[in-house]
Amino acid sequence: MLPRGRPRALGAATLLLLVVVVVGFFLFGRDPEYGLQATATLDGDPYGSRNGSTSDLQPLLPPKCELLHVAIVCAGHNSSREVITLVKSVLFYRKNPLHLHLVTDAVARMILETLFRTWMVPAVTIRFYDAEELKPLISWIPNKHYSGLYGLMKLVLPSILPLSLARVVVLDTDVTFSSDIAELWALFAHFSDKQVIGLVENQSDWYLGNLWKNHKPWPALGRGFNTGVILLQLDRLRQSGWEQMWKLMAKRELLTLQATSLADQDVFNAVIKEHPELVHPLPCVWNVQLSDHTLAERCYLEAADLKVIHWNSPKKLRVKNKHAEFFRNLHLTFLGYDGKLLRRELFGCPSQLPAEAEQLQQAMAQLDEEEPCFEFRQQQLTVHRVHITFLPHQLPPPQPHDVTLVAQLSMDRLQMLEALCRHWPGPMSLALYLTDAEAQQFLHFVETSPVLSARKDVAYHIVYREGPLYPVNQLRNVALAQALTPYVFLSDIDFLPAYSLYDYLRASIEQLELSSLQRKAALVVPAFETLHYRFSFPNSKAELLTLLDAGSLYTFRYHEWPQGHAPTDYARWREAQAPYRVQWAADYEPYVVVPRDCPRYDPRFVGFGWNKVAHIIELDAQEYELLVLPEAFSIHLPHAPSLDISRFRSSPTYRDCLQAFKEEFHQDLSRRYGAAALKYLTALQPSQSRA
Amino acid sequence: MLPRGRPRALGAATLLLLVVVVVGFFLFGRDPEYGLQATATLDGDPYGSRNGSTSDLQPLLPPKCELLHVAIVCAGHNSSREVITLVKSVLFYRKNPLHLHLVTDAVARMILETLFRTWMVPAVTIRFYDAEELKPLISWIPNKHYSGLYGLMKLVLPSILPLSLARVVVLDTDVTFSSDIAELWALFAHFSDKQVIGLVENQSDWYLGNLWKNHKPWPALGRGFNTGVILLQLDRLRQSGWEQMWKLMAKRELLTLQATSLADQDVFNAVIKEHPELVHPLPCVWNVQLSDHTLAERCYLEAADLKVIHWNSPKKLRVKNKHAEFFRNLHLTFLGYDGKLLRRELFGCPSQLPAEAEQLQQAMAQLDEEEPCFEFRQQQLTVHRVHITFLPHQLPPPQPHDVTLVAQLSMDRLQMLEALCRHWPGPMSLALYLTDAEAQQFLHFVETSPVLSARKDVAYHIVYREGPLYPVNQLRNVALAQALTPYVFLSDIDFLPAYSLYDYLRASIEQLELSSLQRKAALVVPAFETLHYRFSFPNSKAELLTLLDAGSLYTFRYHEWPQGHAPTDYARWREAQAPYRVQWAADYEPYVVVPRDCPRYDPRFVGFGWNKVAHIIELDAQEYELLVLPEAFSIHLPHAPSLDISRFRSSPTYRDCLQAFKEEFHQDLSRRYGAAALKYLTALQPSQSRA
């Protein structure tokens, strides 16, 4: 009689294992002639069976919780965006812990370090490797491929990855997963003793050398292999003297060919041509290549299941292909996918979170869901994913009096950006509060705007949306932290500065000797507002005063909230010829220019109300002089009330919570500044809550 | 020697098949005692092996292109939303054509018919079955479950589905897939000759009857089975006299138990208790049940891969569970997933699109990408997914003079809704242009607003975003088509009507005898604007005139676009005591009240400009009298310029394209109205393009 229950399942598992080995022998047994199996070439008939890829058998998935290693070379702003989409697609399907080995330049490192720190995905470890240090190892190879030197760096991975690392999956930034990467990892189990590199056949005729007259590709076995997805058996590669091998081959070919055309891929193919026993061909579905003259259709029309899409045309998503829409949709899925949903634990695998994330989780868990301000407190604790310099950005040249305009916005203020660029010719650091999908719309918006795409001195930082309340001060702090000039103009997105303001501020900073003296000052830029959609922006203070007298302009919030700017003393400003000092008063919230090491904004103020007021108190408490500049001005344009201000007005809880946070803020202030903070508390009248 | 190439692959496939059969015997062989295998119960140790579920072997996926059948019972607005998320999750992972058999009430049918017609997903066929007709078949069973009568309808599926249908997967609306439904379908192959119902064990102690004192559940085998996911072998069920069987059993149990507690599930379990040979137990991962006292952890902590999540608590996503966040993230993935990305063809499967969609695809393909107005023409052709009555909605009681306010908006105008509800106590039909993710935010917004959630006479229709230009007239047409009163007030979302307008309009319609006479009239509601964020809304025409004289209000667009409303003749309106007739003039675009069978808006006008002007021309061409109402008014609130108006102002191409569409519109007009349309053409001066 057959055993039952657990023993029966075990028996089945053993039998299955046996079978897998036998089947594996059938399907993966090396062809002595080429080291290629029929299943992996485009010209065979590998897709007669329903599934098209042997991997559908999933014979040996790695054990639950086994750590999988992935290496990616990534440089610059655009590749950093690309790699995030790749990583999202991997995370979406993965069920194993991952260790990402990222070879990055300084830009990509800055971006990705911030991103992964704030992303806090469980069971993902990141290690960075400095691409700068690798350049000498490969810069002797002339290369014509658009990936530049960075493409070639995949050749040196066996030398630079830790010796303890035996296997790694190497990915180009322009691939998208539509399956669990563990299935790819599982293919290592099919390597013979001699096989050290797993690759998919190249899905074009490039290496056949017949694409055009005098087309001289590097040598390759048949159609050659594509290196967008590589399985590297690192231990054996090192043992077999890989470093010498590829260098020798590259040097030999470079005697007759002037340069690589396809970067590392040419060298890999040249080595494989000479040593076919090194390659383990992978099923075509693991690297479906959508280059301009792709033959990938032969693969995907037959296969049941595509595993990895490779956008290996310089046109990327705009590649012409009759099925492009299909592939684009797969890619767009992850482009717009809300990354916070990938903060998923792996059930049954231990210790997945960094300490910081663990603490945060505990703090969140301690919040009382029944408390009236719960939503606010949850929002205050929320760590948003942050993608700094989302678009290409050039560092401003160091100038001692330079000023960066700092502001934050969400999607509904995008239309301000062009006007702002016209009014402010200097550097800007802008935090954008967007969903992943909106970030893509924003990208499109900038790319199609000649005004915006011409500006490389505007840094856009995406802070990804999470939670119901607008984290205004967290956004301001992100933009402030990324301002790289000595001074910052802390503005709001609805304001357009005077055309001359950028020059005038730099001149004022110099004249007032703010940097040379030990003078702590906040320069006040007086604020005005227009109530008309369209108006003719004043070219000078004189023109502004005329409009003011005509009732076409007002001082800012004159009707609704005069105390916010009254201390600026507009009457005095009319006549002023020189900067003048003003005193702090309750609820004062001017727009100011300060050194970039100024105090941060208090992140407890989320949603509407008191977010700037608290910051000005902080400046005053730290004894910044408030100096109003006589020629400076900035004008607020009209817009509909925000959702947050609407909620504030309609919800008593909202107002009560704001009051509670004001009080907590004052307690903290007393703690930090002692008796000096008393004046702020005295000024605070609970009944006079902002409305 | 072993055969090579194709014959070798065939050999392997044959061997594999053999093996699968053998392994299947080990794993799925029936236990003679219960008809249950150890692998399917919570108390066994089914998860000792890595994969936890036998389905990971994927031994017999259905053939490529095989049609899979799915049946779902769905009734009401909320379930209709739910089922779409379920369908999205199925479509995301599926690789086979699907036939959905939807048992619906009238509401769900209206919603889902519109949705699927506009969704145009390739290789998905829908058939509707009228739930009303099924009610007599099951209404004799008293039921305490929250699903009401609809839950019980699953029992009669074998009788009502087509006789030709041999197998069907039956799903509750509250399940989410995280795997390919073909893997579930493949489990039919493991049914023995007698097994007719595939079910996962119930993951709670409910049926053990020990949850509380005097808890008397229906009879079940052990923990019983959950019917959120069912495989029905319909042909054999019919042969075995299923209908008599379940009725007999239900009647017998109802002699001692007063009602079903868990609807169909109680009856299924009672039948299985009596006939255990009918059930084929499925691996637990195919129905991970997150009820309040779930034992599902025993399943998912061990399993490598969850296939289907079942939100079988009335709390749904708000269920308390220490891993709730994980499951919620899976669900939110599809809740916010952009449904248009699921318009993916199935490679290698024939004839997937309905004729309408095919034509559209061809029209799109014929557009010239290099033409300057390409983007506009593409937008004009775009068919947006439409989800009518996204939230619960009650039909207005039929009244001969009733008026529905019709408008459209996107996310940035949500804050208008509460004020609008206060100003307009009557029915509204609003089209919202949103992404899938925004639709969820909108849902949250309404649910947390006491003002909005109290109103059941406001119908919200989601038109899903697609393309770069705002399809303003398509949105208006959706809202207009769903207005169910005899008259409609065609307004814009930035306007607040006079508090009395709703009553006044109904009275005016009655007095003017618009319905009884053969009088075609458009009642003009004069439009004003305020430039202030906050102002005190006038309670009467007298108050309005005072504000107007004080310069606190203006006639609408007085500064920027006076010709849009000048023909309303505001001077005459000031004095008017009775409705007066005005004549059409170029660029006139008043807000009007018309019968709901009025002409539709011209969908060629996308983005900014001329969208209302063209509609008024159409009314005039059809000889609607334009009658200004002396006591009616509506006031526009300020907001920032839209992205579209900004683009219009900055892009000459945008203006040129608008001009081209105006001309095409006039040509169409001449074609339809002949010489009568000449006056519009004469009035059109190409130089006077709107700016």
Single pTM value for the model:
0.84
Closest among A281, A308, A312, A242 to A92, alpha carbons compared? A308
Is residue B600 predicted with pLDDT exceeding 80?
yes
Is residue B45 predicted with pLDDT exceeding 60?
no
Q: What is the mean pLDDT of residues B412-416?
A: 89
Please name the residue of chain B whose CA is at the shortest distance from the CA of residue A15: B23
Of the candidate ranges A201-210, B223-232, B288-297, B465-474, the one whose mean pLDDT is the lowest: B288-297
Phi and psi at residue A352, to the nearest 5°: -105, -15
The CA distance from B65 to B43, in Å, is 38
List chain B domain ranges. 50-339, 386-683
Running DSSP on this structure, what letter comes out for residue B513?
T
Q: Calculate ∠ Cα B35-B38-B41, nearest 5°.
A: 90
CB contacts of B345 in chain A (<8 Å) are 323, 326
Q: Which of A36, A94, A333, A420 to mutate to test the interface with B (most CBs of B within 10 A)?
A: A333
CATH topology of A50-339 equal to that of A386-683?
yes
Burial of A265: CB neighbours in 10 Å, binned 0-12, 13-18, 19+: buried
pLDDT tens-place string over residues A305-318 = 889 999 887 776 66
User: Sheet containing B487-490: which strands, arranged edge to edge?
Assistant: B386-387, B458-464, B428-434, B403-410, B487-490, B591-595, B521-525, B625-628, B580-582
The CA distance from A502 to B554, in Å, is 36
| Model confidence band, residue B146 (pLDDT cutoffs 50, 70, 90) | confident
Of the candidate ranges A6-10, B321-325, B482-486, the one whose mean pLDDT is the lowest: A6-10
CB contacts of B641 in chain A (<8 Å) are 415, 533
Give yes or no for B503 touching A (CB within 8 A). Answer: no
Candidate from A48, A338, A560 with C-beta closest to B534: A560
Compute the count of residue pairs across chains A and B with CB atoms less than 8 Å apart: 204
CA–CA min distance A172, chain B (Å): 24
> Pairing between strand A634-636 and A124-130?
unpaired
**Chain center to CA of B53:** 34
Give yes or no for A337 touching B (CB within 8 A). Answer: yes
pLDDT above 70 coverage of chain A, percent: 88
Q: What is the pLDDT of residue B44?
A: 44
Running DSSP on this structure, what letter comes out for residue A143?
B
pLDDT tens-place string over residues A575-591 = 999 999 999 999 999 99
- CATH architecture of structural domain A386-683: Alpha-Beta Complex (3.90)
Of the candidate ranges A524-528, A647-651, A660-664, the one whose mean pLDDT is the lowest: A647-651
Q: What is the pLDDT of residue A531?
A: 79
Closest among A89, A90, A130 to A109, alpha carbons compared? A130
The CA distance from B402 to A375, in Å, is 41
CB of A557 closer than 8 Å to CB of A529: yes
Candidate from B31, B48, B639 with C-beta closest to A640: B639
Burial of A431: CB neighbours in 10 Å, binned 0-12, 13-18, 19+: buried
pLDDT tens-place string over residues A66-84 = 999 999 999 999 999 999 9
pLDDT tens-place string over residues B616-674 = 999 999 999 999 999 999 999 987 666 667 777 778 888 899 999 999 999 999 999 99
> Pairing between strand B634-636 and A428-434?
unpaired
Of the candidate ranges B169-183, B197-211, B482-496, the one whose mean pLDDT is the lowest: B197-211
pLDDT above 70 coverage of chain B, percent: 88
Of the candidate ranges A136-145, A275-284, B23-32, B41-50, the one whose mean pLDDT is the lowest: B23-32
Interface contact B15-A9, CB threshold 8 A:
no
What does pLDDT average to over chain A? 87
The CA distance from A281 to A601, in Å, is 56
CATH for A50-339 (3.40.80.10, 3.40.50.1820, 1.25.50.10, 3.90.550.10): 3.90.550.10
Give yes or no for B345 touching A (CB within 8 A). Answer: yes
Is residue B353 predicted with pLDDT exceeding 90?
no
Complex-level ipTM beyond the 0.90 threshold: no
Q: What is the pLDDT of residue B559?
A: 79
> Pairing between strand B124-130 and B98-104?
parallel
CB of B624 closer than 8 Å to CB of B521: yes
CB contacts of B304 in chain A (<8 Å) are 61, 64, 95
Q: What is the pLDDT of residue B517?
A: 64
Residue type, position B266, single letter: D
What is residue B620's three-state secondary structure? Answer: helix
Is residue B381 predicted with pLDDT exceeding 90?
yes
Q: What is the pLDDT of residue A44?
A: 44
Burial of B386: CB neighbours in 10 Å, binned 0-12, 13-18, 19+: buried
Token readout for B195 is 């097994």
Cα atoms in the 13 Å half-sphere on the side-chain side of A526: 29
Interface contact A468-B444, CB threshold 8 A:
yes
User: Sheet containing B124-130: which strands, arranged edge to edge?
Assistant: B124-130, B98-104, B68-74, B167-171, B225-233, B197-201, B279-282
Q: Where are the alpha helices (DSSP H) in A534-622?
A: 541-549, 570-575, 611-621
Token readout for A249 is 């081959």
Name residue, tokens 């023409």. B377
Candidate from A8, A300, A494 with C-beta closest to B26: A8
Closest among B330, B339, B506 to B427, alpha carbons compared? B506
| Higher pLDDT among residues B504 and B24, named by residue | B504
Cα atoms in the 13 Å half-sphere on the side-chain side of A351: 4
CB contacts of B550 in chain A (<8 Å) are none
Is residue A403 predicted with pLDDT exceeding 80?
yes
Closest among A470, A451, A452 to A460, alpha carbons compared? A452
| Residue-wise DSSP of A347-406 | TT----S-HHHHHHHHHHHHS-TTSTTHHHHHHHH----EESS-S---PPPP-TT-EEEE
CB contacts of A344 in chain B (<8 Å) are 326, 329-330
Of the candidate ranges B108-117, B298-307, B351-360, B637-646, the one whose mean pLDDT is the lowest: B637-646
Strand segments, DSSP code E, in B454-519 are 458-464, 487-490, 495-497
Q: What is the pLDDT of residue A42?
A: 55
What is residue A41's three-state secondary structure? Answer: coil
The CA distance from A276 to B451, in Å, is 73
| Residue-wise DSSP of B224-255 | -EEEEEEEEEHHHHHHTTHHHHHHHHHHHHHT
pLDDT tens-place string over residues B229-253 = 999 999 999 999 999 999 999 999 9
| Higher pLDDT among residues B214 and A90, named by residue | A90
Is residue B13 predicted with pLDDT exceeding 70?
no
Q: What is the mean pLDDT of residues A467-472?
A: 92
Closest among A6, A508, A183 to B304, alpha carbons compared? A183
Q: Calculate ∠ Cα B67-B70-B73, nearest 5°.
A: 155
Interface contact B12-A5, CB threshold 8 A:
no
**3-class secondary structure per residue, B249-274:** HHHHHHCCCCCECCCHHHHHHHHHHH
Give yes or no for A676 touching B (CB within 8 A). Answer: no
CB contacts of B640 in chain A (<8 Å) are 412-413, 415-416, 494, 637-640
| Model confidence band, residue A145 (pLDDT cutoffs 50, 70, 90) | confident
Closest among B450, B358, B482, B464 to B410, alpha carbons compared? B464
Give yes or no for B562 touching A (CB within 8 A). Answer: no
Number of CB atoms found within 10 A of residue A420's CB? 23
Residue B327 Rama label (left phi>0; alpha psi -120 to 50; beta)? alpha
Name residue, tokens 């992972």. B93
The CA distance from A587 to A566, in Å, is 9
Burial of B146: CB neighbours in 10 Å, binned 0-12, 13-18, 19+: exposed
What is residue A551's three-state secondary structure? Answer: coil
Interface contact B638-A437, CB threshold 8 A:
no
| Model confidence band, residue B388 (pLDDT cutoffs 50, 70, 90) | very high
**3-class secondary structure per residue, A184-237:** HHHHHHHCCCCCCEEEEECCCCHHHCCCCCCCCCCCCCCCCEEEEEEEEEHHHH
Q: What is the pLDDT of residue B319?
A: 65
Give yes or no for B382 touching A (CB within 8 A). Answer: no
